Structure 1
Amino acid sequence: MKSQDVRKQFLDFFESKGHTIVPSAPIVLKDDPTLMFNNSGMAQFKEFFLGNGTPKSPRIADTQKCLRVSGKHNDLEDVGFDTYHHTMFEMLGNWSFGDYFKKEAINWAWQLLTEVYKIPKENLYVSVFEGSKEDNVPFDQEAWDIWKTLIDEDRIILGNKKDNFWEMGDQGPCGPCSEIHVDLRPEAEKALVSGKSLVNNDHPQVIEIWNNVFMEFNRKADGSLEKLPAQHVDTGMGFERLCMALQGKTSNYDTDVFTPLIEKVEQITGLKYTSDAVKNISEEQNKVNIAIRVVVDHVRAVAFAIADGQLPSNTGAGYVIRRILRRAIRYGFTFLNTKEPFINKLVEVLADQMGQFFPEIKSQQQLVTNVIREEEASFLRTLEQGLQLLENVVAETTGKEVLGAKVFELYDTFGFPKDLTALILKEKGFSYNEAEFEVELQKQKARSRAASEVSTEDWNVLIPGNVETFVGYDKTENEVKITRIRKVDSKKDGILYQIVLDNTPFYPEGGGQVGDKGTLVSANETIEIIDTKKENNLILHFAKQLPENIEAAFTAKVNTDLRTSTSKNHSATHLMHLALRNILGTHVEQKGSLVNPNYLRFDFSHFSKVSDEEIKQVEASVNAQIEAQLQLVEYRNIPIQEALDKGAMALFGEKYGDTVRMIEFGDSKELCGGIHVKNTADIWHFKIISEGAVAAGIRRIEAITGDAVKNFYQNQENTLSEIKETLKNPQDILKSVASLQDDNAKLKKQVEQLLKEKVSALKTELEKDFQEVNGVNFLAKQVDLSMASTKELASVLGSSKANSFVFLASIEDGLPNIHCYIAKELVTSKSLNANAVIKELGKYIDGNGGGQPFFASGKGKNANGIAEALAKAIEFVK
């Protein structure tokens, strides 16, 4: 059965059982601060389990893109080494929100597996929760009794808390679960060892394929359990593992989910992948197999993350994506001999394969390809740089063991993988101190944990069952009551309080717009609200202190100055988006946005620099729309299809409900939940202040509106006045500046000529001062030159004699600099290294530096140390 059919039959089956089929949520989460990525099928439904929202249907089914590479669920380091772990995978799931429970979930799971997919019953085992005295949760007798009617009792296994009690984190919804495992071993093996004994023991052919979670508890901060308001069903079936079972394979990578990608890698590299069915493969072939598995798995994760709007970067979710991609590049570099970008060539295969069900990968194919290609090229350059740095480290090493701290520096600063370092060192007859490396790694992890450590207390619920309403589109001030509060303590922000209100005018951070600030005012006190965010459908108001009387009546007041400035920038973002599409082309799509009171930042897809003329056209277009005094037209809670029919633009990577809010200013029509001006005239004026690249195919514009533009032009005017005054108030300021530039260019040429003459004269003079030491022509001097000229002189002097060792120092702007030239024949014959010389002698001037083994330079802070550095230089050749 083809994988496309497997997915379709699952959804068709549950649709026949009254389930509403919903699309996969984006793989990157934007409105849940507790998770970077969708790491399970249930992540997008958390608010329903917590009772903070109502689903469109009590029965839902879908296939969800999941990513497990961070936090509690992290499979990254397992990927490639076995045949069933993945970074990105599909989770087939059916859900009941307070509707059916164990009986239906178990019976339907069995019916689908055995009657629709026709998996032999004798290949299946199931597990139920044995209970937990610690949590005061009993043995799941109900699930056991249901399974007894479907399967022999000797195929039912009792599972402990680790295996059969599912929790999404340290806190939150959880409950006992019943897993279904399939035994895919050959009959001969089954006859020797019972599959029952291999369940949950990491056997590659006895694997869990479906988990039925009976969500009925909430884990509190103190570890205790409380009953949820309703009983829910949350199931998840690994799509890739199910395909393996149904296609008669013993590896996920042998299914048609992965074989098209593997075939493309084989075509590019000229290497062959060996199926898991082949036994006794060589160690070299096994390394190739692992590398190919890593590449084809990781390209899926990275491609879908980029398609959903998460670009590789150096922080947060972007760093995780970059790390996954770099792991794939490194495996290709080391074991597939790929020294040029190649992973980007797999995107076309992936888009053809999965584009029908996940249209975002098809529509974003060009962008994804470009971003991956650029990332590959960049990291391959880093690998080359790392190789050179490693050469320097080896040259500086006494003995055959490199310091673990040096290897960690390569890893931490340059992203150079430790196992690649180990491989290269081994080829040179070296090793490194792994224990020392591990110490440095643990120090870094401890620093990282300390920086991000957060302790969250349970909610203190004051008004149970209240459904919070947002009134901020119409009001900036409203009478409110506090419905719940909790304390959050983090290393980053200290102690803060999260306050939930029965209704609120405060806009929570979302859609690129920052959260509102303001105050809560009662008869006796004023509490400052420093930020507003949304989590699991609750609007959280952040404060540094709680009111003395939390049950008092309050007036919630938004800071209208900040709100007004923010709304101007948000509306201008919409107008600019339209202008960019009109001027650059309809390929322009929003890829990121930040809207705050001070400025707007807009990332968009475009494959070349936006020219100065195009920038002017965009500015003119937006300002024309401002001058046209376009009235805001707002549609609230309209069906999403109706909004799309009206011409609204939906953004990839955003999660939309069945009903949406649509914002319209003339021809600008977008789905948006943010705050906007009532008329474009309120924006006053629009000015672009910068444009540049963020990643391959992604540009970024920063712009300002309103008072910020007034301040910008006032500053420009002040600067112009100061320039005029400095130039003695010339009649024609441009002519005066041009004349200065001409004079400066002439003087520069004269200075360069004088410096060349001075370097030439010094060369002639200093050549007499060379002395022979152990067959080396040695020279160490301080000269009166700039740093650049001293560097040039060292190179010229070194090249003038064979077997030369030149060490020069000078002072520029009060700061010392040093330079070392060593003839290449000495680098080889006497193992001299200019990089090591600079690092050692740099200590005397309180500085450091580096370079190549034959030439290196450094700078310092202590000019008084030059004499001692010059005196010590000769020791290298004695």
Structure 2
Amino acid sequence: MPLRTPGAPTIDPRIRALPAAEIRRRFVAFFAARGHEVVPSASLVPAGDPTLLFTNAGMVQFKDVLTGAETRSYRRAVDYQRCLRVAGKHNDFEEVGRTPRHHTLFEMLGNWSFGDYFKREAIHFAWEFLTEELGIPGERLAATTYSDDELARSVWREEIGLPPERMAAWGDVDAGDDHNFWRMADTGPCGPCSEIHFDRGQQFSEGPGCLPDHAETCPRWLEIWNLVFMEFDQRPEGRVPLPFASVDTGLGLERLASVLQQVPSNYDTDLFTPLHERLREMLGHDPETFEHERFSYQVIADHARAVTFLVADEVRPANEGRGYVLRRILRRAVRHGRLLGRREPFLAALAGVVVETMAGAYPYLLERAAEIRAVVSREEAQFARTLDAGTAMLETTLEPLAVGEPVVGRLPESLPPDAPVLPGAVAFRLHDTYGFPIDLTVDMAAEHGVRVDRPGFEVALAEQRERSRSGRKAELAHHAETAAAYEAILRRVGGPTFLGYQTTSAEGRVVALLRAGREVERVEPEASSGAGELAGAGEVVEVVLDRTPFYAESGGQVGDQGVLRATTEGVVLLEVEDTQRPVGAQVGGLIVHHGRALAPLAVGDLVEAVVDDERRARTMRNHTATHLLHRALRNVVGDRA
């Protein structure tokens, strides 16, 4: 596909090429020498913040410090933070591979001031690091400010000495223009910002209106650093001043590496080229073929990095929440491997390259390398079993609808309103039977000039979930054989210890397994479902533990979902799709985990039970809101509510 690439820059002999690892090291050392505490990168899974799926900015781990809710022993900090942007307000998933700058996973270098220095010092620090520490010529840098931020503008103009032609002011947040006004989400700390842009050269200018701006509408300018001046807390009722003003800066490592290594794309830096080279070696591609297939190479390289860090941060493939995001990313990469002609597994090998490339900055990757390889290999193999059949089914359906020749990488948004439509029921069948994430189906259909009926897909998905829930509840209520089995288990082992009010992750021992309403000693998902007591691949089974953090459906609040994992290798044994108490069993009765067996599991096994805490938090909020609404209705209309 034609990529949105700005072309190769003219080599500037004044700029010293530096490896990304050296840029990262110099950044931390520069600010540490100026009184900043070196703070380790936080996990991609935000700690104690169920409102976020992933850490999507450097400020996530400092949010409570910025609002004054948390006090730390330091007022200046420096860090490099791994971030993931695949959902919510900041979502770059659809742009990955198409542009030279967008990624799912990226690193944000940041320096922070919590009520210490403010705009003037932040601007001077940034200028000194770029021009003196790294040696970037000052005349190749430009700055933008918020429209009414006269202090920042005067520092750039009068103290740094930027000429007017390399300055621009943007934004009017009250009028809906967020240019140069940064916020992490719809609520939380926010404030005006000043961006530093690198001038790629006059040859990339698109006319007199070519000015640096956040949207990078002119390819001459590349935003590399954003200095955010946190002054406000955005609340649903409006903005209020923060207890103290702070500085939150974000310098994209991948972008800065492309500047210093003088390459046209982040994907041409040493953060990505080892992945390209390893994949080329596996495929036997020459440089010309690589350039022709660059889109798929870039998707795979980006996604290999994201998958590696997600698994290292203990996210596991699942059908909802964070695990589903991991599954989407991984399966999209596998499909692009197929487009390149690769039928054998390859992602685990690329994950190994990521570990080698990044372990210097993130040593924990080495500690978890074997687990990363195992999880990636298993998920890749699972999808490979259905990918070809699902692709054949989709292409057969698309054939009479297709418009023109297929174009790999065509944006769904680029299709005309009257483009042919793939029914939502077909997209759901691909999802349910062949494991195709909906965005993968949307991408593949767009390549053929066909849109997907997303609302129809969502309806089919909701109906299937309701059928599954109704079926499970009916089985619990009416299956006499199952009821007898539950009673026997309860008499034999007693009720489990419920830990869900203290933790969302705990070890427990399997004390009972049920398949089709009958107790079994062991399930083997890879075996045929007709082989005696062995469960078929992905078949729903029921597990009882002696200890569990899983909340069973009660009082109108639905049961928890999550996973049961092996305590040693971290292998996912069961995807817990629902948690129930058998009808008649009150407090102290059984807690039954319903889910799909993905690996061998036996009575007596020690497992790690891990609740999807983000889903639980969302469920609790909805449940509480329902109670509040009902109470309000009773106050208004009485007991009829």
User: Could you tell me the TM-score, scaled by structure 2's length?
Assistant: 0.66
1:408 equivalenced with 2:424 (yes/no): no
Q: Counterpart in 2 of 1:144?
A: 153
> What is the correspondence of 1:562-601 to structure 2 with a 5 Å cutoff?
566=499, 595=549
- Partner SS, residue 41 of structure 2: coil
Which whole-Å CA distance do the structure 2 matches of 1:703 and 1:356 have between them? 30
Which whole-Å CA distance do the structure 2 matches of 1:697 and 1:62 have between them? 42
Q: What fraction of aligned residue pairs are identical, expressed as a percent?
A: 37
**Deviations, residues 584-614 of structure 1 (Å, cap 9, x unaligned):** xxxxxxxxx9536899986345459999xxx
**Deviations, residues 705-759 of structure 1 (Å, cap 9, x unaligned):** xxxxxxxxxxxxxxxxxxxxxxxxxxxxxxxxxxxxxxxxxxxxxxxxxxxxxxx
2:169 to 158, 164, 169: 158
1:97 equivalenced with 2:114 (yes/no): yes
Q: Counterpart in 2 of 1:533?
A: none
1:318 equivalenced with 2:327 (yes/no): no
Closer, same or farther in 2 for the Cα pair 1:153/1:31, shift >3 Å? Answer: same
Query: Which has the larger displacement, 689-698 or 309-318?
Result: 689-698
Closer, same or farther in 2 for the Cα pair 1:343/1:608, shift >3 Å? Answer: closer
Residue 156 of structure 1: CA displacement? 1.5
1:241 alignment partner AA? R
2:231 to 172, 194, 216: 216
Tell me which structure has the larger Cα radius of gyration.
1
Residue 163 of structure 1: CA displacement? 2.0
Which whole-Å CA distance do the structure 2 matches of 1:25 and 1:229 have between them? 25
1:54 to 45, 52, 71: 71
Which whole-Å CA distance do the structure 1 matches of 2:608 and 2:334 have between them? 36
Which whole-Å CA distance do the structure 2 matches of 1:305 and 1:398 have between them? 36
Which whole-Å CA distance do the structure 2 matches of 1:262 and 1:396 have between them? 36
> What is the correspondence of 1:709-728 to structure 2 with a 5 Å cutoff?
none
- Partner SS, residue 242 of structure 1: helix
- Partner SS, residue 42 of structure 1: helix
Closer, same or farther in 2 for the Cα pair 1:596/1:291, shift >3 Å? Answer: closer
**Deviations, residues 544-578 of structure 1 (Å, cap 9, x unaligned):** xxxxxxxxxxxxxxxxxx998539998995798xx
1:170 alignment partner AA? D
**Deviations, residues 452-506 of structure 1 (Å, cap 9, x unaligned):** xxxxxxxxxxxxxxxxxxxxxxxxxxxxxxxxxxxxxxxxxxxxxxxxxxxxxxx
Q: Counterpart in 2 of 1:81?
A: 98
Closer, same or farther in 2 for the Cα pair 1:290/1:273, shift >3 Å? Answer: farther
2:272 to 255, 258, 270: 258
Q: Counterpart in 2 of 1:368?
A: 372
Q: Counterpart in 1 of 2:416?
A: none
Which whole-Å CA distance do the structure 2 matches of 1:697 and 1:240 have between them? 42
Which whole-Å CA distance do the structure 2 matches of 1:19 and 1:81 have between them? 37
1:205/1:250 contact within 8 Å kept:
no
- Partner SS, residue 108 of structure 2: strand
Q: Counterpart in 2 of 1:172?
A: 188
Q: Counterpart in 2 of 1:309?
A: 314
Residue 154 of structure 1: CA displacement? 2.5
1:688/1:701 contact within 8 Å kept:
no
1:690/1:702 contact within 8 Å kept:
no
**Deviations, residues 766-805 of structure 1 (Å, cap 9, x unaligned):** xxxxxxxxxxxxxxxxxxxxxxxxxxxxxxxxxxxxxxxx
Higher relative contact order structure (alpha carbons within 8 Å, sequence separation ≥ 6): 2
Residue 390 of structure 1: CA displacement? 3.8
Closer, same or farther in 2 for the Cα pair 1:241/1:387, shift >3 Å? Answer: closer
1:293 alignment partner AA? Q
1:327 alignment partner AA? R
**Deviations, residues 608-650 of structure 1 (Å, cap 9, x unaligned):** 9999xxxxxxxxxxxxxxxxxxxxxxxxxxxxxxxxxxxxxxx
- Partner SS, residue 127 of structure 1: strand
Which whole-Å CA distance do the structure 2 matches of 1:696 and 1:297 have between them? 29
1:326/1:376 contact within 8 Å kept:
yes
Residue 123 of structure 1: CA displacement? 1.0
Closer, same or farther in 2 for the Cα pair 1:107/1:377, shift >3 Å? Answer: same
2:302 alignment partner AA? D
Residue 421 of structure 1: CA displacement? 4.8
Which whole-Å CA distance do the structure 1 matches of 2:244 and 2:85 have between them? 28
Q: Counterpart in 1 of 2:516?
A: none
**Deviations, residues 400-437 of structure 1 (Å, cap 9, x unaligned):** 9885345423444334433675489x6xxxx75x3x63
1:242 to 240, 256, 279: 256
1:305/1:321 contact within 8 Å kept:
yes
Residue 198 of structure 1: CA displacement? 6.9
> What is the correspondence of 1:15-30 to structure 2 with a 5 Å cutoff?
15-30=32-47
Which whole-Å CA distance do the structure 1 matches of 2:505 and 2:325 have between them? 32
1:271 to 264, 279, 285: 285
Query: Which has the larger displacement, 54-63 or 187-196?
Result: 187-196
Closer, same or farther in 2 for the Cα pair 1:156/1:307, shift >3 Å? Answer: same
- Partner SS, residue 292 of structure 1: helix
Q: Counterpart in 2 of 1:559?
A: none
- Partner SS, residue 311 of structure 1: coil
1:606/1:698 contact within 8 Å kept:
no
Which whole-Å CA distance do the structure 1 matches of 2:337 and 2:387 have between them? 12
2:294 to 275, 289, 292: 289
1:28/1:308 contact within 8 Å kept:
yes
**Deviations, residues 169-216 of structure 1 (Å, cap 9, x unaligned):** 11111000001011123x544697686367633445521110010001
Closer, same or farther in 2 for the Cα pair 1:194/1:263, shift >3 Å? Answer: farther
1:407/1:418 contact within 8 Å kept:
no
Residue 60 of structure 1: CA displacement? 0.6
> What is the correspondence of 1:719-738 to structure 2 with a 5 Å cutoff?
none
- Partner SS, residue 179 of structure 2: helix
> What is the correspondence of 1:656-735 to structure 2 with a 5 Å cutoff?
701=606
**Deviations, residues 316-375 of structure 1 (Å, cap 9, x unaligned):** 0110111111111111112x1112211111122111111121012111111111111111
Q: Counterpart in 1 of 2:247?
A: 233
Q: Counterpart in 2 of 1:69?
A: 86
Gaps of at least 5 residues in structure 2 are 1-17, 405-419, 465-494, 510-546, 553-559, 574-589, 610-641
Which whole-Å CA distance do the structure 2 matches of 1:189 and 1:391 have between them? 40
1:349 alignment partner AA? V
Which whole-Å CA distance do the structure 1 matches of 2:66 and 2:113 have between them? 10
Gaps of at least 5 residues in structure 1 are 131-138, 275-283, 449-561, 577-592, 612-686, 705-878
2:146/2:169 contact within 8 Å kept:
yes
Closer, same or farther in 2 for the Cα pair 1:103/1:422, shift >3 Å? Answer: closer
Which whole-Å CA distance do the structure 2 matches of 1:45 and 1:288 have between them? 40
Which whole-Å CA distance do the structure 2 matches of 1:572 and 1:48 have between them? 27
2:204/2:220 contact within 8 Å kept:
no
**Deviations, residues 821-866 of structure 1 (Å, cap 9, x unaligned):** xxxxxxxxxxxxxxxxxxxxxxxxxxxxxxxxxxxxxxxxxxxxxx
Q: Counterpart in 2 of 1:548?
A: none
2:195 alignment partner AA? E
1:346 equivalenced with 2:355 (yes/no): no
**Deviations, residues 661-687 of structure 1 (Å, cap 9, x unaligned):** xxxxxxxxxxxxxxxxxxxxxxxxxx9
1:603 equivalenced with 2:565 (yes/no): yes
